[in-house]
Structure 1
Amino acid sequence: MRPVLFDGRFGWLHPAEGPGGVVLCSPFGYDALCTYRGMRRLAERLAAHGMPVLRFDYPGTGDAAGEASEPGRWRAWIDSIKQAVALLRETTGVERVTLCGLRLGGTLAALAAQELGGVDGLVMLAPVLSGKNYQRELRAHYRKWLLMPAAMDCEAEPDTDAFVEAYGFRLYSDTLESLRAVDLRRDAVRPAERVLVLDSLDPARVDALVAHYREQGMQVERQTFDEYGKFMMESLDSEIPQAAFQSIEDWLAGAAGDPVARERLTAGSGADGMADCLAGQVSGHMAERLDDHTTGHIVEPGVVETPVWLEGGRMSGIYCVPVSRSDAEAPAVLMVNTGAVSRIGNARLSVRCARRLARQGIASLRVDLGGLGDSQPSLDAVSLDALYAQTGADDAACAARWLTAQGHRGAVLLGICAGAFVGLHAASREPAVIGAVLVNLQKFTWQNICDEHGKPTVPVAAFGSTRNYLRSMCQPRKWLRVVRGQTGGLPVARELAARFAARFGATLADRIERICAMQLGSKDEQRLFTALHARGVHTRLFYGVLDEGVEELERYFGARGARLRRFGRIGVTFCERTDHAILSARAQENVMSYFENFFAHTFGEGHQPEPSIAVEPLHARLGWRHARATQWLLKRARALRLSGEAQ
């Protein structure tokens, strides 16, 4: 597997020796994040069976140059597939090319194949057959997300014709207009000699499309895609559709397909054979890595990005630098994965943030930690225990050292959720890390909770944050559900009582220790921050005001993290309109603005105090009675925490 750059686009080439190659056409937006690991595994499987594969980012998506908001995206996406086919043919010398697309990628693949002509095969996985239905689907996803606890207090986007958004990714009016006009039966008359369709979403439309293709004299095979639902889950929970991928392999290596691939498929049909093929492929690719990075490319005026290898090719990343670096020895920013999401980040936050920093003269590295994105090892599944393992902190520390080796004075970490956990532990022990902004940190320490299959054995986040529940108690419809028996109030009351009791105990223990110099219980959490303070690491914990991570903070360090004030270089900030995964546009702007201010005032010239985050008053956001009720409940909560907690 090696990176390739072409016309402002970024991709990965999976080399193999065979006459037939495959171009993978990814879905759009959140679908691409969910299935990134799976599409990579499909590429590796096909390459292991003798079919070179190219996967890439469309313009304005992933690591490619541009934004999705730019005009002409639909045309540019189709053209990029055609260019990818030309690159695969030129690079590998394949005689035949198959396009394989998932969701919107399947639709784009069919249109590109029609324009190209001479395409041997077309594989469509749950293709988008109706642009109007797809827009309704995206809107439904957005409304569903707004109801989730993780979206509490986010700023909802207006219902507008200018764009459609789902999970932070947008399709704009120009693209939507093109999508609405698509009709594959009209626009892709004879896209390929052979077609494979796997779909379980829209049987009637698929039947019509298959019948139309058969009327054109094409060989068409249709199969169900029963694993679709589990494949399209969020990146941590997404399951590889083994049966669907096996069907694709069999179809590509069929009687009309590649005899070399068919021979390899037979030789490696068992689990051990597949593992041997993949192991040999990875070993061969590692031998190809003669240096740590390839040539960079300009992604926007004044900004250059270069795909890089770290630790002998085990980790991959994108090094983003300004064309003219005024201070080569200034610190660089290190961005780690958010959960199991690839290096681009939720809603492409890491890409946008890196390029925004570069415009200000600040270099950055967005890296895939081991087992995530495009780093090694390549995994079928990722568990919570893996995300919170200390190996992640070791990988982040390695990336920080790589930045210092490029001449930077140190690394300033930016991590969200599980990435914040990784950043905390890397910063506590790695000298190359000189600063950290940890966003919505959920846990300070971690005890393994998954079984041998990677599934949690205990409920994860069974209850939301206390602030969420206090806010819900101000809503009459919540009480109406309790009265009707649609939900139980007693379990919530017991949970809240247990939380207040735990905070009372933690506060009492802290006061006894400070007065009597007695250590009570485990102090792993305090040791982390003591280490940060001793090393002089400038650290900021950044939370949405209703984020569930606030529970962990207040459990160990008092209301609003008051007991962290004893550490001079550690601060806590709470920001409204900030959802947990930083998907909304307002939340993204909050995080980027805060990080820019923190970096400038801590590591820039002058080292001036950081400006405070403006917080919109409750009465300005809520109705007068609603605000009064919320404030009264918050006061009662503070009283239960002992209103004189350590200052």
Structure 2
Amino acid sequence: MNFRYGVPVTFDTFGGFYHAGSIDRPPRKAVLLLSPIGYEELCTRATWCALAEKIAQAGHACLRFDYPGTADAIDIAGEPEGISDWLVAARQCMAFLRDLHPGAELVLVGQGVGASLAAQLGPECPGIAATVLMAPAVKGRSYLRESQAWSRMVTERMGIGPDPLDHSGYTVAGLSLASSRAAAIKAIDLTKATQRPAAQVLLVERTQMSRDSSLGNHLKTLGADVSSIDYAGYEVIMQNPTVAGPQLGTLARIVSWIDDLVTAPMTGVKLSAKELTPARPIAGPHYEELPVRFGPDDRLFGILCHPLGRRPAAIAVLANSGRDYHIGWGRAAVEQARALAERGVASFRFDAGGIGDSPASAGAPAEVLYSDEQLADMRHAIDYVAKLDAGPIALVGRCSGAYASFQAAVQDERVRTVVVINNMRFVWDPRETVAEALQSAHRTIGGSVSLLFSKRSLRRLLSGNLRLKAPIAFVSKRLLQIFSLRPSQILARRKLYGEGHRRFQTLADRDVRLAMLVSEGDHALGEFQTYMGRKGARLRRYPNASISIIPNADHDFTHADARARLTNALCDVLAASPR
């Protein structure tokens, strides 16, 4: 069993990753990571992976996991009872670590709401040696107000309005928060705790402007030995999952603090009591899912979702979009995988190297999006599903994932269907940077103008609550690009045009079904029109290809109803007769 990158483990309705730490000697500490939730979790997934790896490299065992109803965990039927199931899951994980390492001292590390859970669990669980609270949700009311602010900031940055189905305002980036969970979080106030979370506490606090020293002072009055460091780069991490990266300096200081903790002698203690059990499938109402490591040295990670009790008609490989890890923006990939299973189609949602739970290879470029490295990992995923004998293989991707899926389909004859969603590039222009491609993906000129002149925006402008700089700057830059093309640039684009049609023809010659799904008004429509004409007349050259326009949807399908319409369209394509 390869422990280098974290071994997938499963519990009853959720899973996680176990990092063994020292292989040649028993670890003196076992560390449980309690993640943040929602948008904060999406942005910090890479940070959480890096922290777990660094803890293990220091010789300590480590476990990180998904809370029930979040990420890859099975969805909750009905309204959850507050956050009690999250606490139950955390207790299961603590028992897991104690079974594997009964002689090791337990350390809890939490961020955001996860830090609040760690502070609550510490007093009720004897033997907690220390607790690390990273950017803790000190007061639930403040946390929920900040969530509402993040919701507005994210939608404004993308040039869209709030989700009309979100009546609480707590949905951020398509990730919702059940009302019962919000009520339980609202009741949190760590400054009123009556017991310390552990004898030793490390506070990893945000910048001076947002720091609340009341928690540290209160924990000291409870008898805790409190240390504190800055959470350098927290605000950068929270800007966007695609540009967020682990703040290695902060993580190194956390690991050093854990490493330096004074531990009690382990005399007369059995150091190992249980062998690690390989991950088992987790069953939902009509599907079962299995987390797997695959590829060279088991470096890559994915979730195989299979229809429960029947043989699948086909299998779809779901690629990353940007650096959103394998659950997808708004958890779209999870929704799609389970909806496909209901229609009899298996799926494999996975992380390419350098994204989410898949570390980058040793020779990977700094930017893996739109790179040959990403295409190589697509081939590794195809290799994995081809061995399953689960039916014809389809590739599915949005934005950068659409590009990778399209190129892999052109190159690999095992692929029978490819679905590209809001594909911004059929051929990569080496003169363009990834940052420019990503910037253009999330706004359209029409969308930005509509945002500026909508009734809601005009009301907010008059009240001083609307920032105009981003949409105005975007419109100006795009118009300048359109009307300032030089002859050499036009010639280069003609070469790209010819290469694009060569790739379309390759798929047509192999009778590979090509389905293009595009949000109404998205830049991807312009990319389509570049090759197929303004009215799509040249599409008739390729009888294997089709395009469908999805109305009232942004580039990322952020709002719940837009994601549902995308999922339905995807299911209709993939559940059709296999090719």
TM-score of the two chains, using structure 1 as the length reference? 0.77
Aligned residue for 2:291? 307
- CA distance 1:255–1:585, shift in 2 (3 Å): closer
Determine the structure 2 residue equivalent to 1:239.
245
- The residue number in structure 1 matching 2:130 is 121
Contact preservation (8 Å) 2:36, 2:113: yes
Partner of 1:545: 520
CA RMSD of aligned residues (A): 3.7
List aligned pairs for 1:148-547, cutoff 5 A: 148=157, 150-152=158-160, 156-158=163-165, 160-161=167-168, 164-187=170-193, 189-200=195-206, 206-254=212-260, 256-257=262-263, 294-312=278-296, 313-325=298-310, 327-328=311-312, 330-377=313-360, 385-448=367-430, 456=435, 460-461=439-440, 464-468=443-447, 471=450, 492=475, 495-496=478-479, 499=482, 523-547=498-522
CA radius of gyration, larger in? 1
Q: 2:7 aligns with which of 2, 22, 28?
A: 2
Q: Is 234-243 or 333-342 further displaced after alignment?
A: 234-243
Alpha-carbon distance, 1:164 to partner? 2.3
Q: What is the alpha-carbon distance in structure 1 between the residues aligned to residue 250 and residue 180 of structure 2? A: 33
Q: Identity over aligned residues, as a percent? A: 28
- Distance in 1 between the 2:496 and 2:474 partners? 28
Counterpart Cα distance in 2 of 1:208 and 1:137: 18
Give me the whole-angstrom Cα distance separating, in 1, the residues matched to 2:325 and 2:132.
24
Distance 1:91 1:438, change over 3 A: same
Q: Offset at 1:448?
A: 4.8
Alpha-carbon deviations, 1:160-185, whole Å to 9, x = none? 24x72111111111111111111223
Classify the secondary structure of the residue corresponding to 2:546.
strand
Match of 1:47 in 2: 56
Change (3 A) 1:343 1:56: same
- C-alpha distance after superposition, 1:548-578 (max 9, x if no partner): 2223222333225442232111111211111
Structure 2 CA distance for partners of 1:350 and 1:464, relative to 1, 3 Å? closer
Alpha-carbon distance change, 564 to 11 in structure 1, aligned in 2, over 3 angstroms: same
1:14 paired with 2:19, answer: yes
Query: What's the CA shift string for 1:419-476, capped at 9, x where partnerless?
Result: 111111011121221112111111122245699xxx8599943994343366468669
Structure 1 Cα separation of the partners of residues 159 and 363 of structure 2: 29
Task: Report the secondary structure of 1:403's partner residue.
Answer: helix
Corresponding residue pairs, total: 552
Native 8 Å contact 1:88 1:94 kept in 2: no
CA distance in 1, matches of 2:479, 2:360: 42
Structure 1 stretches lacking a partner, 5+ long:
261-287, 511-518, 605-647
Q: Go from structure 1 to structure 2 and tell me whether the alpha carbon gap of 1:520 and 1:180 turns closer, same or farther (over 3 Å shift).
A: closer
Secondary structure of 1:169's counterpart equals: coil
* 1:449/1:458 contact within 8 Å kept: no
2:86 to 77, 82, 85: 77
Aligned-partner Cα distance in 1 for 2:265–2:320: 40
Call closer, same or farther: CA 1:50–1:493 in 2, change over 3 Å.
closer
TM-aligned CA deviation for residue 140 of structure 1: 1.4
Matched letter for residue 86 of structure 1: A
Q: Out of 65-74 and 206-215, give the one that drifted further.
A: 65-74
1:400, 1:410 within 8 Å by CA — same for their partners in 2?
A: no
AA paired with 2:232? D
Distance change in 2, residues 1:561/1:239 (3 Å)? same
Superposition deviation, residue 382 in structure 1: 8.1
- 2:540 is matched with 565
Q: Could you say what secondary structure the match of 1:434 adopts? A: strand
CA drift of 1:529 comes to 1.0
Distance 1:499 1:470, change over 3 A: farther
Q: Secondary structure at the match of 2:163?
A: coil
Distance in 1 between residues matched to 2:77 and 2:197, nearest whole Å:
26
Q: What is the distance in 1 between the residues matched to 2:51 and 2:480?
A: 49
Shift of residue 505, structure 1, vs aligned partner: 13
**CA distance in structure 2 between the aligned counterparts of 1:204 and 1:367, rounded to whole angstroms:** 36
Shift of 1:337: 1.0
Report the TM-score when normalising by structure 2.
0.85
Amino acid paired to 2:334? V
In 1, Cα distance between the equivalents of 2:234 and 2:492? 51
Moved more, 425-434 or 368-377: 368-377
In structure 2, how many angstroms separate the alpha carbons of the residues matched to 1:225 and 1:494? 35
* Alpha-carbon distance, 1:581 to partner: 1.5
The answer to whether the 8 Å contact 2:321/2:400 transfers is yes
Deviations 1:280-327 (A, max 9, x none): xxxxxxxx99xxx944323313321112232241322111112211x4
- Structure 2 CA distance, aligned partners of 1:539 and 1:462? 21
By percentage of residues, which structure has more helix?
A: 1
Query: Match of 1:275?
Result: none
- The Cα offsets for residues 236-259 of structure 1, whole Å up to 9 and x where unpaired, read as 211322232122122112252599
CA drift of 1:509 comes to 13
Q: CA deviation at 1:491?
A: 9.4
AA aligned opposite 2:121: A
- The amino acid of 1:318's aligned partner reads I
Aligned pair in 2 of structure 1 residues 315, 51: CA closer, same or farther (>3 Å)?
same
Alignment correspondent of 1:641 = none
Q: Distance in 1 between matches of 2:364 and 2:43?
A: 12
Q: Which runs of 5+ in 2 are unaligned?
A: 1-5, 267-274, 462-467
Shift of 1:56: 0.6
Instruction: Provide closer, same or farther for how the CA distance between residues 469 and 102 of structure 1 changes in structure 2, counting only shifts above 3 A.
Output: closer
SS in 1 for 2:575: helix
- Partner Cα distance (2:309, 2:145) in 1: 45
Instruction: Specify the SS of the correspondent of 2:316.
Output: strand
Determine the C-alpha separation between the residues in 2 that align with 1:186 and 1:135.
18
2:154 to 131, 145, 149: 145
Match of 2:465 in 1: none
